[in-house]
Each structure stands twice: as structure tokens, then as C-alpha cells.
Amino acid sequence: MPQNPFYVYALKDPREKPAKPFYIGKGTGNRAWEHQTKIDDSEKGQLIQAIHDDNRSVLHTVLADNLTEEQSLKLEAELISAFGIRKHGGMLTNRVKPNPNNINKRIKINIPTGCYEKSQMGLNLLKDAVMELAKANPNGIKNSDAAKYLGLQSDYGGGSKDYLSYSILGLLMKEARISRTDKRKHIAVAE
């Protein structure tokens, strides 16, 4: 059965018992975890910062996965409607309540059969290569090392952008296969 890349997630406040959701979202890859690394000044960002200030981490719950984009948008809209947003008396810090009538208008890409599976096979090979490089260098590797020595650098737009290797390292950290030191080096975690 083909795997679909979208999922719907909840961010929860660990200081409450039971932990209650304060944000519902949909995404792919590391989307649910990006909120903690890119804290903004929104109500959601302020709450995440307050949780960090209490030396805690936001809880992430994947509510449904293996979804198409349309399915994820519909489920996200239904959950936001059910929990409600704070500015209208609900419990979520989401800024807007999605309009289910606009969902089909938002999907603008056709994904050919087999395309996702091919990308995942390629991604697994890239992750294996980065792991081998990290294991061969016990003092750690930098993102630029992975990009340079594995041929993953891009010169798109005239500048060198190492986003692909950075994304792969991020996925490996999420999988707890690599850890990051305070010197911005990445070390293979013992299996």
C-alpha cells in the first residue's frame, strides 16, 4: 500500500495534567517539531517560549498519518473547529479557523503514482550515506561537511545552499540516530 506523506498533529502543554492541545496543524517531514526551533512572537510562540522557560518541552502527538494533502487539510479543519480557537473562546492558539470549502482550491499539485515511494528510497540511501560519514568521524561532522563530501551542495540562485544535507541531518536527529553538539557538529548515536 503506498504511503502518503501528510499527517495531522497536536502540540500540547506538558505543564497541564492531562496535557492539553494548544495547536493543531498538518504537515510533512519535521513540520510538527519546527515550531520549537523557529519560535515566533505569535500567541503559539509565546506559549512555546513559556514552556521552554519552565525547562520543559512541548509534547507532540501525531493524530493521524499516511494522509493525502486533502485528507490532512480536512481533518485539520475539523479538529480546529472542534477545539475552537482562543480568540473565539476555544483552547487553540491557531490564528485562523480553516474553511473546509476552500480546501480543494488550495491543492495545486498532482503527485504521480510511485513518485513518493521513489523519493523515500532515495532519502533512505542519503540518510545511510550521512550516517556512514558521521560514524567514520567520531568527533562529529558539520552540515557543510555532509554537503561538501557527499556532493549535496547546491548553487541555486548563485549562492551555496546546503538545505538538503541540513534536512537529512534533521531527519536523523528526529530518528535519534544522530545528536548535535553545542559546537554545531553532528555525532552518530551508538546503536
Q: Single out the residue in 74, 106, 138 at which a domain terminates.
A: 106
Per-residue confidence band for 101, with pLDDT thresholds at 50, 70 and 90 = low
How many Å apart are CA 23 and CA 79, to the nearest integer? 10
Q: Does 90 lie in the same domain as 46?
A: yes
Q: How many domains, the chain?
A: 2
Give a yes or no: residue 1 inside a domain.
Answer: no
SS3 label, residue 95: coil
Q: Does 165 lie in the same domain as 148?
A: yes
Segment among 1-5, 138-142, 169-173 with least mean pLDDT: 1-5
Q: Does 25 lie in the same domain as 89?
A: yes
Segment among 10-24, 128-142, 147-161, 170-184 with least mean pLDDT: 147-161
How many Å apart are CA 181 and CA 156, to the nearest integer? 29
Q: What is the mean pLDDT of the chain?
A: 85
- pTM, rounded to two decimals: 0.58
Q: Does 62 lie in the same domain as 144?
A: no
Give a yes or no: residue 150 inside a domain.
Answer: yes
The predicted-structure confidence for 160-186, as pLDDT tens digits, reads as follows: 677 888 888 888 888 889 998 888 899
Q: Does 80 lie in the same domain as 152?
A: no
Side chain identity, residue 132: E
Give a yes or no: residue 34 inside a domain.
Answer: yes
Q: Does 89 lie in the same domain as 19?
A: yes
Q: Single out the residue in 45, 77, 106 at which a domain terminates.
A: 106
Q: Does 68 lie in the same domain as 98?
A: yes
Does residue 26 surpass a pLDDT of 50? yes
Average pLDDT estimate for 34-62: 91
Rama region for 168: left / alpha / beta (φ>0; ψ in -120 to 50; rest):
alpha
Q: Does 120 lie in the same domain as 47?
A: no
10 Å Cβ neighbour count for 66? 13
Q: Single out the residue in 106, 125, 159 at which a domain terminates.
A: 106
SS3 label, residue 67: strand
Give a yes or no: residue 29 inside a domain.
Answer: yes
Q: What is residue 1's predicted lDDT score, i.e. its pLDDT?
A: 44
SS3 label, residue 10: strand
Residue 186 main-chain phi, psi, to 5 deg: -115, 130
Domain that holds residue 28: 6-106
Give a yes or no: residue 38 inside a domain.
Answer: yes
Q: What is the CATH number of the domain that holds 147?
A: 1.10.10.10
Q: Does 99 lie in the same domain as 48?
A: yes
Report percent pLDDT > 90 for the chain.
38
